[in-house]
Amino acid sequence: MTEKEYYQYFIDKFGINAQVLMAIEEMSELSNVLTKYLRFGEDSLDQKYKENIIEELADVKNMIGQLSYYFGDNDVAKTQKEKLERTILRIKEKEHENSNPKNS
């Protein structure tokens, strides 16, 4: 099966509301492991924590993939690119302001 076929299958099987709920649940699980990462630091993390982070990232990516597919992959991809470009623009504007403080 392709990724899109998986996504359609799960949405058909469980319904979009259940998948939205699952996405929220998986994002919460990722938040939990990431707060542990920040609280304990990378050096003190044992392999189990790193495996947990990878597992939760994979879960969230799978759920985001489904929601993106359902709501419109092309629109999400377009907006994602626009936001990346806008962030770069803001960084460059800030750097320019900092290197030319009289002009700001």
59/70 with CB nearer Mg ion = 59
Enumerate the H helices of 1-104 as residue ranges.
Answer: 3-14, 16-40, 47-71, 73-99
In the complex, least distance from residue 15 CB atom to Mg ion, rounded to whole angstroms: 19
| 76 CB-near residues (< 8 Å, 6+ apart) | 68
- Position 53 contacts Mg ion (CB under 5 A): no
Residue nearest to Mg ion (CB): 59
Site residues (CB under 5 A) for Mg ion, limited to 63-102 = none
Q: Which residues in this chain contact Mg ion in the complex, by CB under 5 A?
A: 26, 29, 56, 59
